């Protein structure tokens, strides 16, 4: 979850991001917008050359529905100074990274009720 709004090229990082399930399915919400996590939704998170500079995009079908730049966990000086800080900790601190790595996996989606083919 992101609790601090940050500006980025091409968009603003919403002040709140969450993944949740209800009776109708699995949802991703960013600020006041939300998307049902189904066959047509993909999550893309790119890191830039500057440590911690990231871009997150929500792709629906073949179109980018939303995209924004933000400062990820690697931008935090405490994390930069921690020799034990690794990809797992980064993923725990950044739901967008988690979604890009895990949220596009068909098996993960099936566990949460998204049962259609993701080929």
Q: Is pTM beyond 0.85 here?
A: no
Within-domain flag for 116:
no
Q: For residue 11, what pLDDT is reported? A: 53
Contact 59, 42 (CB under 8 A): yes
* Distance from C-alpha of 4 to C-alpha of 83, rounded to nearest angstrom: 25
Q: For residue 114, what pLDDT is reported? A: 59
Within-domain flag for 38:
yes
- The total number of structural domains in the chain stands at 1
Within-domain flag for 45:
yes
Q: For residue 106, what pLDDT is reported? A: 83
Within-domain flag for 24:
yes
Domain containing residue 34: 6-111
Within-domain flag for 103:
yes
What DSSP element (H or E) covers 95?
helix 95-98
Within-domain flag for 1:
no
Within-domain flag for 91:
yes
Within-domain flag for 34:
yes
What string of pLDDT tens digits covers the 119 residues of the chain? 333 334 333 455 687 889 888 888 889 999 889 999 887 899 999 987 777 899 999 999 999 999 999 999 989 999 989 999 998 899 899 989 999 999 898 888 878 765 544 44
Cα three-residue angle 60-20-3, rounded to 5 degrees: 90
Q: For residue 1, what pLDDT is reported? A: 33
Q: For residue 4, what pLDDT is reported? A: 36
């Amino acid at each position: 979850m992101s609790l601090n709004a940050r500006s980025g090229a091409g968009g603003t990082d919403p002040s709140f991001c969450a993944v949740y399930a209800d009776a109708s399915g699995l949802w991703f919400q960013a600020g006041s917008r939300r998307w049902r996590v189904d066959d047509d939704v993909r999550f893309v998170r790119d890191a830039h050359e500057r440590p911690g500079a990231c871009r997150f995009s929500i792709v629906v079908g073949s179109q980018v529905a939303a995209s924004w730049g933000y400062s990820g966990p690697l931008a935090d000086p405490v994390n930069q100074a921690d020799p034990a800080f690794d990809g797992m900790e980064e993923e725990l601190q950044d739901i967008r990274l988690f979604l890009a790595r895990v949220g596009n996996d068909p098996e993960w989606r099936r566990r949460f009720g998204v049962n259609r083919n993701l080929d």
